[in-house]
Structure 1
Amino acid sequence: MKKQLIAAVTVASLLGFAGGTAVQAFNLGSILKVGGISVLVSKYGDSINDFLNKLLMKNGVGTDYATKVVPIVSVGTGKYIGAVQVIGPSAQVEKVKAVAQLEGEFNGIARANALIPMATTNVTNLSRVQGVGVSATIDFKF
């Protein structure tokens, strides 16, 4: 009986220690941010797009082109890292599902982010949707 109790306490201690380690490695904030971008763009993309169009129109820089809010996908990680408003002819804007972000450094004096409108969220084979550009970036607060 005493040996069973000691064995049970030992197993429980080991499981508790291993479980604590796994929990520390789990970054909930990072998961929410990356997964949350997709949810936020799906749920609020149209409203954010309307807000941006009104903001630009109010400041005298509106457009007659079609616009749409889509997620930014990092080429390096494949993760959703933000959102942008794309702009262009209606038929072309409808094709855009995401914007790929490529990052690079120039001679140690400048850092650049290239934003490429794409017809897919898969960043393994980049292919630009021609005639579409980025008109605004959206920063979500987490």
Structure 2
Amino acid sequence: MLKGKKAIIVAAVLGFMAGNMVSVPKADAGGVLGNIGKAVKTGGIVWLVDKYGNELNTFINKLTAKYPVSDSYATKVVPIIAVGSKGYVGAAQISGPRALVDKCKGALALEGDFLNRSFRVQALIPVDSIDPSHCTRVQGVGVSAKIDVAI
């Protein structure tokens, strides 16, 4: 787990994002301020994943090693960029052969619903860029864990 200065930094960044950037004035909800807020939140999560990804990856690997479900593939934690009715960011652990894992820069989450909203579907796809408009799938790599951030 995060301790000391790291925990304070994470709490401060997440607190700033939750308290200041989530509440965009309604008159400008889709305008410049809304786009700036989205960019800051996305950049903040990407920065946190970049900064603490190795620690998260080690934690997940230790967690799965406690059960007969761990594997011998290379793993890495990357940002998730969700595309659907509303954009979200988060993190995921990807798994696969080392050369392919090294190519991955993020995971694209495609969201939708099925059977009159009875099922919510989220397809998690390892990709070579965190820009959803300019990314391609990295074949041979899978998503092995999803990380949520409490705010």
Q: TM-score range by the shorter chain?
A: 0.7 to 0.9
Cα distance in 1, alignment partners of residues 90 and 147 from structure 2? 7
Provide the rounded CA distance (Å) in 2 between the counterparts of 1:79 and 1:133: 21
Cα distance in 1 for partners of 2:74, 2:138 equals 14
Amino acid at match of 1:40: L
Partner of 2:17: none
Give the paired residue count.
120
Residue in 2 aligned with 1:115?
Answer: 124
Q: How does 1:29-68 map to 2 (within 5 A)?
A: 33-68=41-76
In the alignment, structure 1 residue 71 sits paired with structure 2 residue 79: yes
2:95 counterpart of 1:87: yes
Match of 1:130, SS state, is coil
Q: Would you say the 8 A contact 2:93–2:146 is kept in 1?
A: yes
Identity, % of aligned positions:
47
The 3-state SS of whatever aligns with 2:49 is: helix
| Pair 1:29–1:60, CA change in 2 (3 A) | farther
TM-score of the two chains, using structure 2 as the length reference: 0.69
- TM-score normalised to the size of structure 1? 0.73
Where does the alignment leave 5 or more consecutive residues of structure 2 unmatched? 1-22, 26-32
2:107 maps to: 99
Residue 55 of structure 1 aligns with an amino acid whose one-letter code is: L
Larger Rg: 1
Structure 1 stretch displaced more, 35-44 or 87-96: 35-44
| 1:110-129 deviation per Cα after TM superposition (whole angstroms, max 9, x unaligned) | 11001111011121144210
TM-fit CA distance, 1:80: 5.6
SS in 2 for 1:48: helix
Judge conservation of contact 1:78–1:123 (CA < 8 Å) in 2.
no
1:8 aligns to what?
none
